[in-house]
Amino acid sequence: MTARRVAIIGAGVVGTAVGALLAGKGYRITGIASRRLASAEKAVRYVGAGTASEDVAGTAGQAEVIFITTPDGAIRSVCEKIVKNGGVTKESTVIHCCGAHSADLLDPARSCGASVLSIHPLQTMADIDQAVRNLPGSYFALDGDEKALTTGRALIRALGGTAMVIPSEGKMLYHGAAVVACNYFVALIFQALRMFEAIGIPREEGLPALMPLIGGTVKNLERVGIPKALTGPIERGDVETIEGHLAAFDALMPDGRKIYCELGRIAVDVAEAKGSIRPETQERLLKLLNVKSG
């Protein structure tokens, strides 16, 4: 039987959004705890349910499902505190939402007989309202005790998401992939804006100019996937254009050449998978993209 009583330990964006969504699906949010009572009270008002408290163990003890949504570095110590003060039983399911660490971070709860899970939303969340909008439809990485996976899948369904079970030992690489797709994507656009600035296009003009291109690329990814979404000179095997790009870097922005070449080599792999370039063209491109500026 799916547990229905939920406690939220940590009143930030993730905890508040998860609480609000689960409350909307009939889960009983019994309490929200935070180091600062004012933060817990604010979260309770947003969720519309539960009792605000600074007592993490007392709050956890009221529920069958305990979400620890504190900052990542505090998860284990908070879990230890809850266990030490009797907030966890053998009937508890304790969950964290950290992307970089497996459910093993909750070993203090596991050691006293509780089931442990990690449920990480593969989503970016700048604020609570955005999180409530974005979590439904997202994928959630799920790892932990076999007996608790059913509970995890039910919670993810209630959040409107899709469960993606991953091995505990793969959690760091999974999180690295998420960082590349999200955080490094922002860094990549920042690099493109630097390139614009090198030829006199200011950032405040450059970003709006790039947005339709970015949006079109995302739509292509959604519509046809990878490798079909790849377009451009490498996809066409246009060696001459790549040579021109590298010459421009050498003349105007030498420090941009390295990342261009590294990404270019990956793009060659995608073009190979798409079957859009001949082997001899692939070889020429890789040779060109491996040559350092002189």
CATH 3.40.50.720 occupies which residues in the chain?
A: 5-169
Is pLDDT at 1 greater than 90 in this prediction? no
Confidence of residue 212 (pLDDT cuts 50, 70, 90): very high
Residues 88-117 pLDDT 10s: 999 999 999 999 999 999 999 999 999 999
Residues 50-92 pLDDT 10s: 999 999 999 999 999 999 999 999 999 999 999 999 999 999 9
Is pLDDT at 253 greater than 60 in this prediction? yes
Q: What is the mean pLDDT of the chain?
A: 96
In CATH, the number for domain 181-290 is 1.10.1040
Give this prediction's pTM. Answer: 0.88
Q: What pLDDT is attached to residue 291?
A: 64
CATH 1.10.1040 occupies which residues in the chain?
A: 181-290
The mean pLDDT of 2-6, rounded to a whole number, is 76
In the CATH scheme, what architecture does the domain 5-169 have?
3-Layer(aba) Sandwich (3.40)
Is pLDDT at 293 greater than 50 in this prediction? no
The mean pLDDT of 25-33, rounded to a whole number, is 97
CA-to-CA distance for 7 and 17, rounded, in angstroms? Answer: 13
Confidence of residue 147 (pLDDT cuts 50, 70, 90): confident
Residues 220-237 pLDDT 10s: 999 999 999 999 999 999
In sequence order, what DSSP letters do the residues of the chain get, joined into one string?
A: ----EEEEE--SHHHHHHHHHHHHTT-EEEEEE-SSHHHHHHHHHHHT-SEEES-HHHHHTT-SEEEE-S-GGGHHHHHHHHHHTT---TT-EEEE--SSS-GGGGHHHHTTT-EEEEEEESS--SSHHHHHHHSTT-EEEEEE-GGGHHHHHHHHHHTT-EEEE--GGGHHHHHHHHHHHTHHHHHHHHHHHHHHHHTT--HHHHHHHHHHHHHHHHHHHHHH-TTTT--SHHHHT-HHHHHHHHHHHHHH-GGGHHHHHHHHHHHHHHHHHHT-S-HHHHHHHHHHHHPPP-
Residues 7-24 pLDDT 10s: 999 999 999 999 999 999
Q: What is the CA radius of gyration of the chain?
A: 24
Q: How many residues does the chain have?
A: 294
Is pLDDT at 292 greater than 60 in this prediction? no
Is pLDDT at 178 greater than 60 in this prediction? yes
Q: What pLDDT is attached to residue 167?
A: 95
CA-to-CA distance for 148 and 190, rounded, in angstroms? Answer: 42
Q: What pLDDT is attached to residue 4?
A: 87
